[in-house]
Amino acid sequence: MQLHRSTRTKRLLLLFAAVFALTCLVAPAAWASPIQHDKDDCKRSTVPCKQADLSIKKSASPAGADDFIFTITVKNNSKIAAEKVVITDQLSKRFELEWVRGPGCKFGKTISCKVGTLGAGKSVTITLRVDVEPDNFRGKITNTASVTSATKDPNTKNNSSSVTVTAKGHRK
């Protein structure tokens, strides 16, 4: 049985319309990449999952009578780049920031460094100097820094680091 050209054209158009409709309805849900990740997203995924394990380490050293220098190092322990990396440090009320060095840092009582993309196996260091206030304060002060990324992190237990310093106050 031979179909007329117009019948074949109509069937092809109908087939094209059906494929297009399925593509518009089904594909966007499969391609969506939410910023908030469920812990098991990559385990359930049918497509390769992009993950980057970031870790952070904070250390302190005395720098004078009541000053401290904090060094914050973030490392990408993965084989892919981590995107939109941000390092945050909420300073104790006992600290007055003297200076900060590092990429994309804005500061006040909260230091926020927008690092951007951190390559696979790469690290970045932020250094800051604080002065203990009041000058005669004596005691322990704990400070914590953390790191976040738009890229899923399979191990969030190493995304914050704390250090405790002991202020001795000025001697008279």
pLDDT digits (tens, 9 = 90+) for 153-172: 999 999 999 999 999 887 55
Higher model confidence: residue 17 or residue 28?
A: 17
Number of domains in the chain: 2
Report residue 149 as tokens: 């990324």
63-83 pLDDT, tens digit each: 987 899 999 999 999 999 999
User: For residue 15, is pLDDT > 80?
Assistant: no
- Residue 20 shares a structural domain with residue 105: no
Higher model confidence: residue 33 or residue 148?
A: 148
Of 15-19, 53-57, 113-117, the poorest mean pLDDT is in 15-19
* 37 domain-assigned: no
Instruction: Please state, in angstroms and rounded to a whole number, the distance separating the CA atoms of residues 100 and 135.
Output: 20
Instruction: Please state, in angstroms and rounded to a whole number, the distance separating the CA atoms of residues 104 and 86.
Output: 9
Q: What CA–CA distances, in Å, run from 19 to 9, 10, 23, 27, 152?
A: 15, 14, 6, 11, 33
Beta bridge partners of 111: 89
Q: DSSP secondary-structure letter at 51?
A: B
Q: Which DSSP helix (H) or strand (E) runs through 145?
A: strand 139-148
* 40 domain-assigned: no
Longest dimension (CA), the chain: 109
User: For residue 55, is pLDDT > 60?
Assistant: yes
**The pLDDT of residue 34:** 44
Global confidence as pTM: 0.72
- Residue 144 shares a structural domain with residue 69: yes
- Residue 70 shares a structural domain with residue 148: yes
User: For residue 35, is pLDDT > 50?
Assistant: no
Angle, CA of 148, 152 and 157, to the nearest 5°? 60
- Residue 73 shares a structural domain with residue 142: yes
Pairing between β-strand 123-132 and β-strand 95-101 as defined by DSSP bridges: antiparallel
* 126 domain-assigned: yes
